[in-house]
Homo-oligomer: A and B are copies of this chain.
Amino acid sequence: MTESTAQRARAEVSPNNACPIAPVVDIVFSRWTTPILWALNEYGRQRFVELERRIATITPKVLTQRLRQLERDGLVLRTYHPEVPPRVEYEISELGRSLAPLFAALAAWSPNLGTVEEARRAYDARQGAGGHSA
């Protein structure tokens, strides 16, 4: 019940008011999902610890939460091997792979990051110096 409450909370705050892309953003670009999907898409099927080590700054709890969410959304496939030390493998699903052009568009825009940094420096210089009038 806790999870569904969280899901509903996320859904409630998303202001889909005539903004048709907000739900997609909620699903695909919620926190941590980008590096997870990217790692699965880039390095193929992996185990829990591999993902954990690759992302490095994520905690196992949150990684589990996000993987469950992605599995529920059908973007990730989970395979559980009931072996002696349990082994679980995660891979990106067909639906998840359909996000590839989206990620490509993201990557295509990334050269503009320099422009953003420049804009930030300019803005901070305007505000930071004695520039802002009373």
Contacts and interface: CB of A to CB of B under 8 A. Distances in A.
Contact of A55 (B15, B39, B115): B15
B73 A15 contact: no
Interface string A1-43: 0000000000001010111111111011100101100110000
A84 interface: no
Nearest to A93: B119
A98 B112 contact: yes
A24 B119 contact: no
Interface in A40-93: 54-58, 71-75
A115 B94 CA distance: 11
Contacts of A129: none
Contacts of A134: none
B19 A73 contact: no
Contacts of A27: 113, 116
B22 A113 contact: no
Contacts of A107: 20-21, 24
Interface of A: 13, 15, 17-25, 27-29, 32, 34-35, 38-39, 54-58, 71-75, 95, 98-99, 101-103, 105-110, 112-113, 115-116, 118-120, 122-124
